Amino acid sequence: MSFFDLPRTPGIQCRLLRGCRLQRSGDGMSFAVRQPDGRVVSFLPWEEEAYAAVLDRLSRGAHAAALRDLALEAGGPDRATAFMMVLRRLAAAGLVEFPLLDEVGERAVLLPQWAAFVPSLATEPAPEIGLDRFACIRRDDRSWLLESPLAGARLSFPELAALETSIVRRALAAAGFLERAEADPRRREALEQWEFHDLAAYRRHRRGWHRDPMGATFDHRETIDPPPPTRPPWPGERTALPPANAAGASGSLADVLERRASLRIYDADRPIALGDIGALFDRAARIRGNLATPAGPAGARGDFEVVVKRPYPTGGARGELELYVAVDRAADIEPGLYHYDAAGHALVRISGRTPAVSSLLAEARTCAGGIPETQALVIVTARFARVMWKYRSVAYALILRDTGVLYQTLYLAATDLGLAPCALGAGDATLFAEATGLDPLIEGSVGEFILGGRPAQRSAATREAAGTGTVAGSEPA
């Protein structure tokens, strides 16, 4: 039986969410809840003083039954029923938390994340039953947090020992934190295939499964300078890239879409050249311009942020992705690692073919299904702060989406230019960090794409050899 149905659920109280305050509305006709971020939710259309006592108890924490008794005293059965409905609505809006108490005192607090969450207590689980494999314990700035993408609340507790107490274990069992046999075979199969990090990220990136701030919150605006829209250039030797030949033949979009395919074999006689990379990046990746727009809700402090315009879109026009090219074999570019200066349309040399660069190229060949040759490997990095400075909860998801958008733009432009393109699904971020000296927490690799001169005649045999590769690189797909 759940908290709201059981007259005096032992061990579970309810309390206005920490940081929220109850206040009277301006006209004095109702009570409202002021949330820590200043938003006010009006809930209680009662002006009678009598209810002040109930609401005061709600602020401090009490059994729901005790609150109902107080409401009954103040306004009779109808008002008591109405009050319980209001309490449910507050809980569904995430404005109520549920302290778990035993004879020692308050052990932990359940913080609802899903609108449908109602706390309850299961019978005491057997001692050998532990946390489910999706549960995760971490710290926030005040306490420990236990979370699971399969549970509708998170648990906040001051000491790890709380997890061993009977009241907490009973609440965890009821909320779905502990190991259990899944009865529905289809759901069991589905769960078997979810990995911890995938499910945690999926739940985190969508609304409805958590109550943390989400979207463009500009949380760091007051304390951290906005990251520059354009990456500061590398210091190395610059080679200007030729632009795409505007007069050159270009297929219709329908034609290019139809012809687009992943190719992993190259024309040995006509390896990729500077002109190809210049044309491809001009079409697909250059910076078209920067634009100042208000930062934050309606440009709160009158601040502006600079967004980046490129041929491919990025979430919030953050323009956080950078391109690097590891050249293995090209007509007129020395082997080595280069950065694409997207504002200046130039390649800037970072290094020659160091062991780390060779390993990146070797890994790309493996990832493409064990192909014998690479000509150029494009490595996509993200300047993470460009996105994280603005967005909460969804930043890394946006970066991966942006990477997918860039992949398709590179595919289409490369197809149109007669090159052989192929996206890769996995790359070694530590090797890239070693090759560049970049801190992967600041700028790290998030995608890879191989390129080369397209074989002149694609026979049936070469089409077969083009294969499908493998994301992990361990076995052909």
Ligand X SMILES: Cc1cc2nc3c(=O)[nH]c(=O)nc-3n(C[C@H](O)[C@H](O)[C@H](O)COP(=O)(O)O)c2cc1C
Residues making contact with ligand X (CB under 6 A): 261-262, 264, 367-369, 407, 422-426, 468-471
Choose between 164 and 255: whose C-beta lies nearer to ligand X.
255
Choose between 74 and 367: whose C-beta lies nearer to ligand X.
367
Q: What is the rounded CA–CA span in Å between residue 211 and residue 203?
A: 11
Choose between 108 and 414: whose C-beta lies nearer to ligand X.
414
Choose between 188 and 259: whose C-beta lies nearer to ligand X.
259
Choose between 144 and 396: whose C-beta lies nearer to ligand X.
396
Helix orientation angle between 395-416 and 274-284, rounded to the nearest 10 degrees: 130
Q: How far is the CB of 407 from ligand X (least distance, A)?
A: 6
Distances (CA, A) of 281 to 121, 145, 278, 325, 368: 59, 45, 5, 11, 22
Q: How far is the CB of 293 from ligand X (least distance, A)?
A: 30
φ, ψ (nearest 5 deg) of residue 156: -110, 130
Q: What is the rounded CA–CA span in Å between residue 450 and residue 379?
A: 9
Choose between 96 and 424: whose C-beta lies nearer to ligand X.
424
Q: How far is the CB of 300 from ligand X (least distance, A)?
A: 37
Q: How far is the CB of 306 from ligand X (least distance, A)?
A: 29
Cα 156 from chain centroid (whole Å): 23
Distances (CA, A) of 73 to 27, 49, 78, 79, 246: 25, 13, 11, 9, 82
Q: How far is the CB of 264 from ligand X (least distance, A)?
A: 6
Residue nearest to ligand X (CB): 469
Q: How far is the CB of 410 from ligand X (least distance, A)?
A: 11
**Helix residue ranges per DSSP H, 44-140:** 50-60, 64-92
Residues in Cβ contact with 408 at an 8 Å cutoff, skipping those fewer than 6 apart: none
Which tokens sit at 110?
């359940």
DSSP letter string over 208-258? TS--S--EE--TTTTTSPPPPSSPPPPSS-EEEPPPP-TTS----HHHHHH
Q: What is the rounded CA–CA span in Å between residue 91 and residue 85?
A: 10
Choose between 218 and 407: whose C-beta lies nearer to ligand X.
407
Q: How far is the CB of 262 from ligand X (least distance, A)?
A: 3
DSSP letter string over 57-85? HHHH-B-HHHHHHHHHHHHHHHHHHHHHH
Choose between 100 and 450: whose C-beta lies nearer to ligand X.
450
Q: How far is the CB of 260 from ligand X (least distance, A)?
A: 7
Asked whether 257 and 278 are in contact (CB, 8 A), the reply is no
